[in-house]
Amino acid sequence: MSVEITNEAEFIFDFDVNELVTSVVEGCLDYEKCPYESKVTVTFTDNKSRREINSTHRNIDKETDVLSFPMVEYEAPGDFSGLESDNSMYDCFDPDTGELILGDIVISAERAASQALEYGHTIKREIGFLVAHSMFHLFGYDHMEERERVLMEQKQREVLELLGIKR
């Protein structure tokens, strides 16, 4: 597994953010029983950069806490079967390392800090939640319909509990 973490915002965390992010990514991969070594990039930005990315990629001109950019299309969320078949829509494996390229996660460190205060928990918990939330998007899950939202929230909650990341 490789996790590339960049802090473009130069935000100062009061904990080891690389350790947290790596732990949550690995916890989600284990939870979903991903059969492949995988690759994920996580970038921390400021609110202004997040707004620009949101506007460019989603045509929504406002700040947001996190965006996920999945690189894999699944038959069903979390279904890793068929990714290596000849019928695969595209090659989602890194040709140099053989890792499954899941995608990119972009988090506004500023927004995460303000949401942590708003929700009454630590920024460590908020970052852990945002990474878990994004990982499930990278696995093909969504929350547009009530049934999907409930399932995704259950998965996020269970991973964070398994990792001991509490509110």
CATH number of the domain enclosing 93: 3.40.390.30
From CA 42, how far away is CA 25, in angstroms rounded?
10
From CA 77, how far away is CA 147, in angstroms rounded?
13
Query: Which tokens sit at 124?
Result: 């460590």
Which whole number is the average pLDDT over 128-146? 96
- 3-state DSSP assignment of residue 103: strand
Parent domain of 152: 2-162
Tally of domains within the chain: 1
pLDDT of residue 10: 82
State the sign of the Cα–Cα–Cα–Cα dihedral 147, 148, 149, 152: positive
State the distance between the two ends of the chain, measured CA to CA, in whole angstroms: 27
- 3-state DSSP assignment of residue 44: strand
Nearest CA-CA partner of 114 in 106, 122, 102: 122
Q: In this structure, is residue 167 part of a structural domain?
A: no
- Amino acid letter at 112? A
pLDDT tens per residue across span 59-111: 544 567 898 999 998 989 999 988 876 555 457 899 899 999 999 999 999 99
This prediction's pTM: 0.90
Q: Which residue has the tokens 């939202």?
A: 149
pLDDT tens per residue across span 9-25: 888 999 999 999 999 99
Q: In this structure, is residue 136 part of a structural domain?
A: yes
Query: Which tokens sit at 71?
Result: 């690189």
